[in-house]
């Protein structure tokens, strides 16, 4: 059973950079695409982007100027950085595996981690 676990600070100051890591178990990050999806409290889901271990990335244009995703195959982890955060970036952040068949669907998810942007 593939498992994903997000980790990172739960509180980030405005204008700073949000950094999260997703650790993958029972699957290699050197296969599949890996995604980040977020959900503001009480609201819907927003796809942030995905990446392949080769370095190929695909970001949501609404966030593209602030997003960087990377993968560390030696640790079987992938990461998200979101710069210049504001209160609007407060959300539960999920990492997920993106299986590309008829486009991407997200078949395995982490439990999610709440990141609050506040001074």
Of the candidate spans 7-15, 20-28, 55-63, 79-87, the one that interacts with other proteins by CB under 8 A turns out to be 55-63
Asked if residue 20 lies in contact with residue 67, where contact means CB atoms within 8 angstroms, the answer is: no
Structure tokens given for 119: 């001074």
Q: Contact with other proteins (CB under 8 A): which of 8, 19, 21, 112? A: 112
Asked if residue 48 lies in contact with residue 61, where contact means CB atoms within 8 angstroms, the answer is: no
Q: Determine if 10 is a binding residue for other proteins (CB under 8 A).
A: no
- Closest distance of CB 92 from other proteins, Å: 9
- In angstroms, rounded to a whole number, what is the distance separating the alpha carbons of residues 63 and 33? 19
Q: Determine if 41 is a binding residue for other proteins (CB under 8 A).
A: no
Helix, strand counts (H, E) of the chain: 0, 11
- Closest distance of CB 74 from other proteins, Å: 26
Q: Determine if 105 is a binding residue for other proteins (CB under 8 A).
A: yes
Q: Determine if 70 is a binding residue for other proteins (CB under 8 A).
A: no
- In angstroms, rounded to a whole number, what is the distance separating the alpha carbons of residues 116 and 43? 15
Chain residues in the site for other proteins (CB under 8 A): 44-47, 58, 60-62, 94, 96, 101-107, 109-112
């Amino acid at each position: 059973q593939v498992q994903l676990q997000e980790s990172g600070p739960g509180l980030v100051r405005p204008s700073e950079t949000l950094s999260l890591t997703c650790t993958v178990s029972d699957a290699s990050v050197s296969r599949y695409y890996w995604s980040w999806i977020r959900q503001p409290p009480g609201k819907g889901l927003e796809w942030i982007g995905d990446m392949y271990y080769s370095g190929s990335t695909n970001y949501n244009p609404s966030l593209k100027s602030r997003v960087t995703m990377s993968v560390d195959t030696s640790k079987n982890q992938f990461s998200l950085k979101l710069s210049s955060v504001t209160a609007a970036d407060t959300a539960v952040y999920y990492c997920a595996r993106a299986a590309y068949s008829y486009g991407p669907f997200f078949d395995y998810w982490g439990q999610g981690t709440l990141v609050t942007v506040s001074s």
